[in-house]
């Protein structure tokens, strides 16, 4: 007769006096707690007046966020729920249960602490001789914003809707004035139809104001080049002057859009075969010398990577060394960006064309049409010759096996595919928090190896 371990759920029992009896000695929670202790207290936003209720210790709150993000728990409500159900979370919080409002407020206000913790984890990796900033791989990935692309409105359509809503609001106000004498549940309250239209009109007004401000700023940036061209044209005589040079437009184009939910997000797509989505371009620089730790994390509103190379390298914390070599795909192929990094004694290896599209035994037929054209720019020709050298070819091969697995782990293992916060500053904070959680998980794994 088979014997079974008895699972009597009606049997009362107590948690152990020390939760470490239920938590393995090599659990990630211990590593996270030790890592956040390195962050100075002056980096946190705390209530120094000692008014109101007692506040949770900022080191504990930061460890709670990092540990939950490393385990794929991102929502503040889910983090609050985990403080009751997860043994690792209960150990970090010392059996306290911060509510979701407190968690969300702490995450929103402590960008400086998260940035400092990001640096301290990298410094810890260097102290353990697991990190040497030599070769760095750079890439970007599109992550959805906390907004729907159907909430985007074109400038010309916004103008029409504003006039329509203004007419409807005027009509509803006239109806409300005629109904003032009638007895109702609350004569002081505006009708719901009127309130809904006023809210929508205020959002459209703000969207138009944003687009107009962007157009004015763009025109101001183009004015110096316009004046230079006009001056050069005036120096020429007769027909040699050429066509009349149009001044920069200070009004937005009719096709320009703004999202009503998250105005800082943009319509982007992964490639020409993918659909457009409302999101951000999340950039990362990853150590390619073995550790695969993220050295810098930032968010861009531009769908293209063309002008993001220098900014991503500059985002590496000042406490670390300058990289010796940078690897990037052909999306970063910009002569000015490459020249800027090379002027700082940083070697750049960037692809000059599409890579990995046709394998020797590819099941797909070869692409139709003429072969790709040879690059015309001088710097592209020099880069192509440099990449054909065997040692550089081997170095560049590290890019695909270092930075791309990081994005795969973030999206597939951690499950982070959509930002929860809105606005480019808050989204940048959340991306740093995600990469910080990845670094902690990666460094913990390296220390156990």
Burial 53-78 (b: 16+ CB within 10 A, else e): eeebebbbbbbbbbbbbbbebbebee
The residue with greater pLDDT, 87 or 182, is: 87
The residue with greater pLDDT, 261 or 243, is: 261
pLDDT of residue 68: 95
CATH classification (class only), 129-148+264-356+375-448: alpha beta
pLDDT at 172 over 80: no
Angle at 161 between CA 155 and CA 165, to 5 degrees: 145
pLDDT at 13 over 80: no
Here the tokens at position 292 are: 């695969």
Mean pLDDT on 403-413 = 94
Mean pLDDT on 337-353 = 90
Helices 111-127 and 28-36, axial angle in degrees (round to 10): 110
Mean pLDDT on 360-384 = 77
Mean pLDDT on 46-62 = 80
pLDDT at 244 over 80: no
Angle at 348 between CA 127 and CA 432, to 5 degrees: 50
Residues in the chain: 449
pLDDT of residue 198: 79
* CA–CA separation, 257 and 413 (whole Å): 34
Here the tokens at position 263 are: 């105005």
- The structure's pTM equals 0.85
pLDDT of residue 15: 65
- What's the DSSP call for residue 151? G
* CA–CA separation, 120 and 37 (whole Å): 10
Between 282-291, 350-359, 427-436, the lowest mean confidence (pLDDT) is in 350-359
pLDDT at 177 over 90: no
pLDDT per residue over 214-226, tens digit each? 788 887 887 888 7
Beta strands in 276-380 (DSSP E): 277-287, 294-300, 325-328, 347-350
* Mean pLDDT for all residues in the chain: 85
Split at pLDDT 50, 70, 90, the class of 162 is confident
pLDDT of residue 295: 94
HEC secondary structure over 388-403:
CCHHHHHHHHHHHCCH
* Domain spans of the chain, in order of start: 19-109, 129-148+264-356+375-448, 151-179+188-259
Mean pLDDT on 85-93 = 91
* CA–CA separation, 34 and 122 (whole Å): 14
* CA–CA separation, 396 and 380 (whole Å): 16
Which of these, 410, 95, 374, lies nearest to 282 by C-alpha position?
A: 410
Split at pLDDT 50, 70, 90, the class of 190 is low
Q: How many CB atoms lie within 10 A of CB 19?
A: 16
* CA–CA separation, 164 and 161 (whole Å): 5
């Amino acid at each position: 007769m088979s014997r079974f371990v008895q699972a009597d759920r009606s049997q009362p029992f107590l948690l152990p006096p020390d939760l470490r009896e239920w938590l393995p000695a090599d659990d990630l929670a211990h590593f996270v707690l030790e890592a956040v202790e390195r962050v100075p207290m002056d980096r946190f936003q705390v209530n120094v007046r000692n008014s109101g209720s007692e506040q949770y210790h900022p080191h504990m709150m930061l460890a709670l966020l990092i540990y939950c993000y490393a385990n794929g728990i991102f929502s503040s409500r889910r983090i609050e729920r985990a403080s009751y159900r997860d043994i690792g979370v209960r150990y970090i919080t010392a059996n306290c249960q911060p509510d979701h409002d407190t968690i969300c407020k702490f995450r929103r206000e402590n960008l400086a602490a998260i940035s400092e913790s990001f640096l301290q984890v990298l410094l810890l990796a260097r102290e353990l001789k697991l990190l040497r900033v030599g070769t760095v791989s750079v890439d970007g990935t599109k992550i959805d914003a906390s907004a729907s692309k159907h909430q985007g409105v074109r400038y010309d359509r916004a103008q029409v809707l504003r006039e329509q809503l203004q007419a409807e609001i005027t009509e509803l106000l006239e109806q409300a004035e005629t109904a003032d004498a009638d007895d109702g549940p609350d004569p002081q309250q505006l009708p719901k139809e009127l309130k809904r239209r006023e809210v929508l009109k205020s959002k459209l007004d703000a969207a138009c104001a944003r687009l107009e401000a962007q157009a004015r700023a763009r025109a101001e940036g183009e004015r110096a080049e316009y004046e230079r061209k006009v001056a050069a044209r005036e120096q020429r005589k007769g027909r040699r002057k050429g066509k009349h040079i149009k001044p920069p437009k200070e009004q937005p184009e009719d096709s320009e859009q703004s999202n009503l939910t998250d105005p800082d997000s943009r319509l982007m797509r992964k490639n020409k075969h993918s659909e457009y989505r409302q999101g951000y371009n999340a950039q990362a620089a990853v150590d390619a010398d073995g550790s695969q730790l993220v050295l810098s994390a930032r968010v861009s509103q531009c769908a293209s990577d063309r002008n993001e190379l220098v900014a991503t390298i500059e985002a590496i914390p000042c406490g670390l060394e300058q990289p010796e070599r940078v690897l990037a795909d052909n999306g970063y192929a910009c002569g000015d960006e490459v020249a800027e990094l090379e002027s700082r004694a940083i070697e750049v290896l960037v692809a000059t064309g599409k890579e990995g599209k046709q394998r020797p035994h590819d099941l797909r037929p070869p692409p139709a049409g003429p072969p790709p054209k040879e690059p015309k720019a001088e710097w592209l020709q020099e880069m192509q010759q440099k990449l054909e050298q065997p040692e550089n070819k081997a170095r560049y091969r590290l890019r695909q096996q270092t930075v791309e697995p990081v994005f795969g782990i973030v999206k597939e293992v951690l499950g982070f595919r959509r930002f929860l916060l809105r606005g480019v500053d808050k989204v940048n904070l959340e991306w740093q928090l995600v990469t910080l959680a990845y670094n902690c998980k990666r460094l913990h794994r390296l220390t156990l190896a």
